[in-house]
Structures are given as C-alpha cells and as structure tokens.
Amino acid sequence: MLTTSTAQHAREQELLDRVVRSFGTCPDPRLRELLTGLVRHLHAFIREVRLTEREWAAAIEFLTRCGHVTDDKRQEFILLSDVLGASMQTITVANPARGDATEATVFGPFFVDGAPRIPLGGDIAGPAAGEPCWVEGTVTGTDGTPLADARIEVWEADADGRYDVQYDDGRTAGRAHLHTDEDGRYRFWAVTPTPYPIPHDGPVGRLLEAAGRSPMRASHLHFMVSHPGRRTLVTHIFVRGDELLEHDSVFGVRPSLIRDFEKQEPGTPTPDGRQVEGTWSRVRFDIVLAPGEPEDRRGDG
C-alpha cells in the first residue's frame, strides 16, 4: 500500500466521516447499519488499493454489462456473488453450525419450481443421459426423530453437464420432488453427478478468464429439504475423489457434504430389482434438519 501524507489521509477520512454521517438519520436501524458498514468497507477498499479513476470506470462498465445480460432466466449478479465467495460467506454466516444438522451450500441458478413428484424409488433422470445412481437415506431432526413426509427437491445436470433448462426443447430432466415415508426414509434413482462449468459466456466468465480461474464446479447433486418446524435446508452432495473438490468455482464444497458414490459393476443386482445395463453407482445421504421455521431459501445465493 502506498503511504499517504497526513494531510491526504485527513482529507480522505473527512469525506468518509461525512458520508457515514449522512446516513445517521436513517430511521431504520438495520438499514443504517448496512449502509454505513458498506460505506466504511467500500472506502477502505478504495483507499487500500489506491483505486484509479480508470479502474473505477472499468468496474462500472463491468457491472453495467452484468446488468445487461441479467433477465428472468440469467442472473449475472448472483453468479458474481458466487465466484467472489460472497454467496457462500452469506450462507456460512446465516447458517451457523447447529448440532449435527446437515450443512447448507449455494442454491445455484438451476432450481425450477413445480418439478414433477416421483414415488419413493422413482427416477428423477427422465431423458437426462448418464450413469444410473441409486440415492437413499433418511431425514431426521437434530434429536434423531425421523421426519415423515419431508419434502425433498432434487436436481442435477446430465452427463454432458447441462441442466434441462439449458436444453432448447423445454423437456424436464434431472429434477423431481419426493416425500419421505413414515420412518423418514427416502430413495430414488438419479444419474451419477459429473463436473460442469457455471454459465461463463458473460462478464463473470470473462472475469474468471482474466483471473486465470476455471468456471468448473465439482460434481454434485442438489437437494432442498423442508418439513414443518424445521429450517429448510438447501445443499448438495459431492463425489469423493472428484479432482475439482478443491477448486469448485463457487466455493460450495464442505467436507461434511462429500459422499462415497460406490461404483457397481455391470450385472450387480440393484436395490429395487431394476435391470441396469452397464455400471451404476449408489450413495447414502442421511439428512439432519435444524429446528426453525421452514422458509423460502431461494434468495440465499
């Protein structure tokens, strides 16, 4: 950092103090806290890196481009928040470790409301290509109580790394919801997750390129699990051994969410007698919900 003269430091500090004071009359105390905190950190950043006017203009231009590609299908600002780790930090702050409750991770842009309901043991894949994967587990509270009729939404990319919303023909694939049985158990078929890039054809993709960073996400399967009287959980499971676990572009991997997807040789009998040609995999994910009110977690990044 460049050292600044005492007089220059005082000029900068006087400006910051004036801006902070301008929010002093904000009638909403939380809004006042957010705005003054933002101003303090923003000014600290500008002063620390000695921001040039050219760099300021480039930042404005970048944000403008993010705005131009954002619509009701593409949200470049959330993507920006994701690659800066801000989504994951917000989730970390908002979801402190609670007993043995399953940890949360990023929501991502590919959830769709109204995915079809499947029965226990049903298949979420539909036309999504990929190696079949048997997923099973339980949903319980932190006290171990099995949670009957918990709603589980699951969604994932196909073996080519595409979600159905990225197909041209509107088909539903790789997504569904199901409910736990009276003992809190669930099971379904999916496809074994494979790595794929976040949308990187826009300004955030160019930012990653300029920074020499990869847009790839570690292989994962998304879950959103809800039950009355429990905090809604938005999470994924990741594939143990995936070489991208250390380099997930949105920092979503938590060690507690890495699971063994056990490879099964062709001809290995399946849990439900389904005939599978070729290899398949199986994974167990026991989900523990923290106490709290169910809520819409979709704004959480």
Which of 110, 223 has the CB closer to ligand BEZ?
Answer: 110
Neighbours of 264 (CB within 10 A): 19
Which residue of 83, 108, 218, 280 would you call a contact of Fe ion, by CB under 5 A? 108
Task: List residues bridging with 281 in a β-sheet.
Answer: 133, 263
Which residue of 80, 139, 250, 283 would you call a contact of ligand BEZ, by CB under 6 A? 250
Q: Is 88 in the site for ligand BEZ (CB under 6 A)?
A: no
Backbone angles phi, psi at 160, to 5 degrees: -90, 5
Q: Read off the amino acid at residue 27.
A: P
Unique residue bearing structure tokens 């070729």: 278
Q: Is 259 in the site for ligand BEZ (CB under 6 A)?
A: no
3-state secondary structure of 26: coil
Going by DSSP bridges, is the β-strand pair 185-191/151-155 parallel, antiparallel, or unpaired? unpaired
Which residue of 66, 76, 79, 200 would you call a contact of ligand BEZ, by CB under 6 A? 79
Instruction: Give pairs for 70-77: CB < 8 Å, separation 24+.
Output: 73/165, 74/109, 74/199, 74/202, 75/109, 76/202, 76/203, 76/204
Identify which range of 41-49, 63-71, 107-115, 257-265 contacts ligand BEZ by CB under 6 A: 107-115
Which of 226, 235 has the CB closer to ligand BEZ?
Answer: 235
Q: Read off the amino acid at residue 86.
A: A
106 interface partner picked from Fe ion, ligand BEZ, none, CB below 5 to 8 A per type? ligand BEZ
Cα separation of 29 and 42, whole Å? 20
Q: Minimum distance from CB of 27 to ligand BEZ (Å)?
A: 36
Total of chain residues touching Fe ion, rule CB under 5 A: 1
**Positive or negative: CA dihedral 93, 97, 98, 101:** positive
Identify which range of 24-32, 101-109, 139-147, 254-262 contacts ligand BEZ by CB under 6 A: 101-109
Per-residue binder mask for ligand BEZ (CB under 6 A), 200-239, x = binder: -----------------x----------------------
Which of 23, 62 has the CB closer to ligand BEZ?
Answer: 62
Which residue of 76, 82, 153, 164 would you call a contact of ligand BEZ, by CB under 6 A? 82
Q: Got the DSSP string for 156-179?
A: ---TTS--GGGSSS----SEEEEE
> What residue number has its CB nearest to ligand BEZ?
108
Backbone angles phi, psi at 201, to 5 degrees: -95, 10
Q: Is 301 in the site for Fe ion (CB under 5 A)?
A: no
Which chain residues interact with Fe ion by CB under 5 A? 108
Which chain residues interact with ligand BEZ by CB under 6 A? 79, 82, 106, 108-110, 198, 217, 250
